[in-house]
Amino acid sequence: MRRYGFLKTPAWIGWFALTCVAAVVCLYLAQWQMSRNDHLVAENAKITENYDAPAYDQATGAPLFEDYDDAKTWHPVRLRGTYAPEDTVVVRNRPHDGRVGYDVLVPLHLDDGTVVAVDRGWIPTDNSANGMPSAVPPPPAGDVTVTARLRPSEGAVDRGAPEGQAASIDLPALSASWGGQLATGGYSELVSEDPAVPGTPQAGERPEVAYGPHLSYSMQWYAFAVLVFVAYGYSARQHVKNEEWDRAYAAEVERRLAAYYDAEGTYIGDMDESLVIRQLQMADDMPAHLKSLYRPKRTRASSGPTAEDEEDALLDALEAQNRR
């Protein structure tokens, strides 16, 4: 384990700390993707269990619009009451089949005085350039039996709307104009009306049951949290292997140089030294920390040039010439 002593150096401690931070970030992202997947699973369960379920009667379903139960979203409810067409509101920027238009929202007054918002469906914008809705189809007059699905209030948005329009289905805001009896927990999305009238707005699209890629993304982030430590260990192992290779290569270079130079750096080979230098010349293709191994170290005197100094100068000149 002495070979891994470098892991205690500040640089490698810093790399390990960075690895831990990266792993924590990966785990956070994995949990975030998992929470999104859990949300989709729950939403899909509501669609699967509630969308085509038998409708609640008014006694069971009407209270849910005030005390909204999110688990009952999309569940049909049968209501009986009277529409108030004079209070109709169209909700802006509602998509349908790739187009943008309006949802028609009308208050339905129940027999007990409760008011429930009914989304009767979608209408397109007018073909003129002003972007206003086309003619709004009126609801049935008199007593009507409405079958509609439970939907939660959407809340306020940071944009306004002209008179008679709304930016979202914000039921507490609508209660100011529709009266205090309006149920503000949820609204209803129309399925059918009895009696039916011609020209009813287009029904809303069936929600899609889709799980998306969140589960697979979560698994990938968990894998990344492990892989960052694998990468750290691999880097440490490669560092050890590189040091072993460097030592082995340095020993081999020294062995080869010993055949041509003695301990004092004097050339003792039996061939032209320039050829030896050319054979050993690999500086341009080698790491910087090995460049010093190309030439033996010379022992220099503290004063005045010696014969060895002159020989070194001559060798340096030959080496420079060979590099040209």
Mean pLDDT of 79-86: 93
Would you give the DSSP letter of residue 167? S
**Res 21 pLDDT > 60:** yes
End-to-end CA distance of the chain: give it in Å, rounded: 46
Average pLDDT over residues 17-41: 95
Range of the domain at 314: 259-323
* pLDDT greater than 50 at residue 298: no
Weakest mean pLDDT among 29-33, 42-46, 172-176, 247-251: 247-251
120 and 181 fall within a common domain = yes
Q: How many domains does the chain have?
A: 3
Is residue 307 pLDDT above 60, yes or no?
no
Give how far Cα 266 sits from Cα of 36, 77, 259, 308, Å: 75, 103, 11, 8
3-class DSSP state for residue 68? coil
Query: Which of the listed ranges 49-58, 204-213, 256-265, 296-305 does the model predict with the highest average pLDDT?
Result: 49-58
Residues 189 and 223 in one domain: no
Q: Which long-range contacts (CB under 8 A, 24 or more apart) does 125-130 make?
A: 125/100, 125/101
If asked whether residues 40 and 115 sit together in one domain, one would say: no
Domain check: are 170 and 291 in the same one? no
Range with the poorest average pLDDT among 60-69, 122-131, 202-211: 122-131
Residue predicted with more confidence, 130 or 247 = 247
Q: What is the mean pLDDT of the chain?
A: 83
- Whether residues 72 and 140 share a domain: the answer is yes
Q: Would you say residue 242 lies in a domain?
A: no
Q: Are residues 140 and 226 in the same domain?
A: no
Domain assignment of residue 95, yes or no: yes
Do 57 and 22 have their domain in common?
no
State yes or no: pLDDT of 290 exceeds 60. no
Helix axes 307-323, 273-280, angle to 10 degrees: 60
Same domain for 101 and 168? Answer: yes
Could you tell me if 74 and 21 lie in one domain?
no
So what's the pLDDT on residue 275? 75
With respect to residue 296, please indicate whether it lies within any of the assigned structural domains: yes
Q: Within this chain, do residues 219 and 283 fall inside the same structural domain, yes or no?
A: no
Residue 317 has pLDDT above 90, yes or no: no
Of 129-133, 247-251, 264-268, minimum mean pLDDT range: 129-133
Does residue 297 belong to any structural domain of this protein?
Answer: yes
Instruction: Dump the DSSP string for 231-298.
Output: HHHHHHHHHHHHHHHHHHHHHHHHHHHHTTB-TT--B--SS-HHHHHHHH--GGGS-GGGGGGSSPPP
For residues 137 and 63, membership in a common domain is answered with yes
State the average pLDDT over residues 225-251. 89
As a whole number, mean pLDDT of residues 289-310 equals 51
Q: What pLDDT is recorded for position 313? A: 61
Model pTM score: 0.65
CA distance 119 to 140: 14
The verdict on 315 and 220 lying in the same domain is no
Report if residue 134 sits inside a domain. yes
pLDDT tens digit sequence for 117-176: 999 999 988 765 456 777 888 999 999 999 999 999 987 877 777 777 888 899 988 888
As a whole number of angstroms, the distance between CA 40 and CA 208 comes to 11
- Asked whether residue 63 is domain-assigned, the answer is yes
In sequence order, which residues have a C-beta less than 8 Å from that of residue 174 and are 6 or more positions away?
A: 89, 105, 117, 166, 182
206 has pLDDT over 60: yes
- For 88-122, the pLDDT digits (tens) are 999 988 888 878 889 999 999 998 889 999 999 99
Residue 39 lies in a domain: yes
23-27, 53-57, 170-174, 254-258: lowest mean pLDDT where?
254-258
Residue 247 lies in a domain: no
